[in-house]
Amino acid sequence: MANPPSLILLGLLALSFSLVLAVDQSTLQDFCVADPNGQVLVNGLVCKDPKLVEAEDFFFSGLHMAGNTSNQVGSKVSPVFAAQVPGLNTLGISLARIDIAPWGINPPHLHPRATEILTVLEGQIEVGFVTSNPENRFIRKLLQKSDVFVFPIGLIHYQKNVGGGYAVAIAALSSQNPGAITIASAVFGSNPNIPSKVLARAFQLEDNVVSYLQHKF
């Protein structure tokens, strides 16, 4: 018979167990190819009838094409997530091509649902991330062609092209739908805006500097 302290212990165990599952759930069947016409809202995407599944459901073509980097940051991420490959649904993995123009950046961002492992295909890329424990330690590395680097789940990271030419990398991610929160636009470009007083206090800035940043994003 469970007494109150052991119930608390059980509760804590259950809590720590759920925290360990901070990645996509494991599958209960071979696959669950996403049904584009599914109307039911579930965690993930509704399965198509397995008898109707085709090779195309597991296929994507187009990563040979460079992303358009003509934008403010000089980079483009081309995702191959469950939205692009329905067969990825429930499999807990995905990838993306990252193009970075000379001196461009893939700006500081985080993936709420995935660890990322990056391989440099072309160019020289400086990468960095910031840890939570020890608090705010900055870890940085210069990568050459064919080098590999890992960004742990949930940590803020960036990539910067520091070579003379174009840089290309392939990122593999431990979720079918990793999500991306880009810090600058999430903080200064939310819709509606976070009250400027909140940001002014948080960033120790004058209100007009916050308004300026909010207009930029």
Binding region for ligand NAG (CB under 6 A): 68, 70
- Shortest distance, CB of residue 58 to ligand NAG, whole angstroms? 28
- Shortest distance, CB of residue 101 to ligand NAG, whole angstroms? 11
- Shortest distance, CB of residue 67 to ligand NAG, whole angstroms? 9
Closest by Cα among 97, 164, 87, 169 to 127: 169
Closest by Cα among 170, 153, 152 to 106: 170
DSSP designation for 36? T
- Shortest distance, CB of residue 100 to ligand NAG, whole angstroms? 15
- Shortest distance, CB of residue 217 to ligand NAG, whole angstroms? 17
Which is closer to ligand NAG, CB of 70 or CB of 136? 70
Which is closer to ligand NAG, CB of 25 or CB of 68? 68
Which is closer to ligand NAG, CB of 101 or CB of 127? 101
CA 161, CA 168: separation in Å to the nearest integer?
Answer: 9
Closest by Cα among 116, 96, 156 to 132: 156
Which is closer to ligand NAG, CB of 68 or CB of 132? 68
CB 46 within 8 A of CB 40: yes
The residues, any chain, with a CB within 8 Å of residue 101's CB and separated by 6 or more, are: 69, 70, 74, 75, 161, 166
CA 33, CA 85: separation in Å to the nearest integer?
Answer: 9
Which is closer to ligand NAG, CB of 68 or CB of 190? 68
